[in-house]
Amino acid sequence: MSAAPKPPVIVWFRQDLRLADNPALGRAVQSGKPVVPVYILDDHTPGPWAPGGASRWWLHHSLAALSGALGDLGCPLILRRGRADVALHALVRETGAEAVVWNRCYEPHAIARDSALKADLKAEGVAVDSFNAALLAEPWTVKTGTGGPYKVFTPFWKAVREGLDPGLPEPAPRHLAALPTPPDSDRLEDWGLLPTRPDWAGGLRDSWTPGEAGARQRLEDFLVQAVARYPEGRDYPAQPLTSHLSPHLHHGEISPRQIWAAARTHGTAPRGAQGGMDGVDSFLRELGWREFCHHLLYHFPFLPERPLNPKFEAFAWDDNAGHLAAWQRGLTGYPIVDAGMRELWATGWMHNRVRMVVGSFLVKHLLLPWTAGQAWFWDTLVDANLANNAAGWQWIAGCGADAAPYFRVFNPVLQGEKFDARGDYVRRWVPELARLPDRVLHQPWTADPITLRAAGVRLGHDYPYPVVEHKAARQRALDTFAAIRDDND
């Protein structure tokens, strides 16, 4: 007489779409029980923070890759759609599972949902456990000398580094036990995650390879080809010297621990000697900034909606819809700004230096609210991460933690001339200006009629005049920001 089958363990995948270094999956494998992997498209995510268009495109392809990898191990990925708590309870009943495991998410709504769900499942006799798969250090473990959260990055990162022992990443399982008859599953194609505009889908597809294998390859290529030049080259958008790992990290196709281990090994290996550890340390500091953003969101869950600095609650933002549309479409008349916004639309990503320039332009030149920029990035970035997005925009606006000072207004002309001196970046993304000489490329309105005619540029027709004049816009920003400071002193 055969033994009764063991009750399965449900592994709830979320922002951890990988097999290697996945603590929840590892715990399920260690149990020796059948594994039921599930991804739930949670329709109960608060409206503003439901995945944007670019994130949904990435999610589709990442889930396809994960499904294939699990299928190769003989364990199909189950797809369900609806309220996560309802869907998970239903799956527990269907399978007779006595345990559910997941890796933690850190968005405020996810923390509230997961805490309630964990309590409900335990009350029903289901064992529940959750793990850290997304951060080097849990947000509640890093404290100032007085026991509070950090609001300045440098001492935060120093504290993390001093106590950091991430350990070695775990390899992917080689086999998964599965139920003889898997539960019913939705079809990924029926979820409608892919954009309907073929030009957008094509640009994303040409730029990225979502999935765990794509993440590993991206990291390897960066360490071999770029990390040694990263400290001095990371500010130049035309140079391929940044890692492009942020969307892979956000969707959990690679873990910070995997990146940490690979980077440290590369930096100390003979092949890494040319760049020494400088490039690796500079790169890992950016991983530290991601940790800092999650630290802020955890301790200040209002971060995506309200300024961390309460002085800015009464800030006199403008509401010029035409200016916002020009910024979104890359038609501000400032080439470096427009190049960045067009890169974002075409690829779902933007170079970090340019993110600061376009963000400063929106908030300070146009005096449009940082939340408008945050919302646009949320919809168009493949790496749209609530913590990074909110903290980054508050930094740009001067109202967040460790924020840029209010009087720091990026000059888009000087930024273009300094970091895109030969114009390779602008010429790629603003091709109507491609034939202009370098000396006027970043300020085409200063070109004489002969130069414009030779380049085939008709200002106001082929390319717009600036929507605002830099000097006047800068002074307006300084006056408005100074008023907030003075009124609250």
* Binding residue positions for FAD: 230, 242-246, 283
Please, what is the Cα angle at 455 between 452 and 459, to 5 degrees? 45
Cα separation, 418 vs 235, whole angstroms: 10
Respond yes or no: is residue 191 known to be catalytic. no
User: Which residue from 309, 299, 302 is spatially nearest to 149, judged by alpha carbons?
Assistant: 299
- Coil, strand or helix: which one is 40? strand
Cα separation, 140 vs 148, whole angstroms: 9
Q: Specify the pairing of strand 78-82 against strand 99-103.
A: unpaired
Element (H, E) at 434: none
Q: Please check whether residue 315 is in contact with residue 364, taking contact to mean a CB–CB distance below 8 angstroms.
A: no
DSSP sequence for 215-229? HHHHHHHHHHHTGGG
Determine which one of 317, 320, 432, 445 is catalytic: 317
Determine which one of 370, 376, 378, 429 is catalytic: 370
Element (H, E) at 186: none
Interacting residues of 185 by C-beta distance below 8 A, sequence separation 6+: 76, 77, 78, 79, 80
Respond yes or no: is residue 393 known to be catalytic. yes
Cα separation, 116 vs 222, whole angstroms: 41
Determine which one of 352, 417, 432, 445 is catalytic: 352
Cα separation, 215 vs 244, whole angstroms: 9
Respond yes or no: is residue 370 known to be catalytic. yes
Determine which one of 49, 289, 432, 445 is catalytic: 289
DSSP state of 363: I
Respond yes or no: is residue 429 known to be catalytic. no
Instruction: Give me the sign of the Cα torsion angle 297, 302, 306, 310.
Output: negative
As annotated, the binding site includes 230, 242-246, 283
Determine which one of 58, 200, 376, 393 is catalytic: 393
What amino acid positions are annotated as catalytic residues?
286, 289, 317, 352, 370, 393
